[in-house]
Structure 1
Amino acid sequence: MRKFETLLLLSPELAADAREALLGTLTGVVEREQGKMVAADHWGMRDLAYPVQKHMRGYYVRLEYLAPGEAVAEVERNIRISDGIFKFVTVKLADAVEEVA
């Protein structure tokens, strides 16, 4: 298992319940791929340095999870086909992390 972090920039027009449903879907994908969600930090609404899809504000969420390397491709595939996600970036935080029960 490796430790990954994915930062999402969500549409400011996305309702709170739609955001939670979207994050629930991504959590389900991680767990389906034999991973484990460690943290989901809601950074909230922030101003953007430049317009993204004609918006100057966006809602940021940081996901941290343990998963095999192949799971990242599936998570990113689900992000790409989801409406309401403007941008995302995934970073590997650590190799070979031992899962604490």
Structure 2
Amino acid sequence: MRHYETLMLFSPEMTGESRQEILANMTAIVERDNGKILVEDDWGMRTLAYPVNKHTRGHYVRLEFLAPGTVVAEMERNLRITDGVYKFLSVKLADTYQEPKES
């Protein structure tokens, strides 16, 4: 399984419940193909470098996960058709994942 990261930008008008529903859907997509969510990092509301859909602020969430490559395509397909998701970016961090060593 490969190590991926997806950063999502949500509308500032979206409720927390709606965001959690979308994140639950993304988690289900990853877990359906025996993937694993490593980190769900909620960055909160941030000021954007330039306006997106006439908004100067947006809510960022970062997902770090292990999954086969087909999962990323399915996640991005779902994000493209989901209302309230302005932008997203998926990046492959590594071909294999190594557990952090504890000292």
Size of the alignment, in residue pairs?
99
Equivalents in 2 of 1:11, 1:78: separation in Å?
16
- Which consecutive aligned stretches of 4+ in structure 1 deviate over 4 angstroms post-superposition? none
CA distance in 1, matches of 2:28, 2:82: 14
**Identity rate, percent:** 59
Q: 1:33, CA displacement in angstroms?
A: 2.1
5+ residue gaps, structure 2, are none
Distance 2:33 2:18 in 1: 23
Please provide the CA RMSD for this pair: 1.2
**2:34 maps to what in 1?**
34
Match of 2:90 in 1: 90
Which ranges in structure 1 are unaligned for 5 or more consecutive residues? Answer: none
TM-score normalised per structure 1:
0.93
Output the CA distance in 1 between the equivalents of 2:58 and 2:52. 9
**So what's the TM-score if we normalise by structure 2?**
0.92
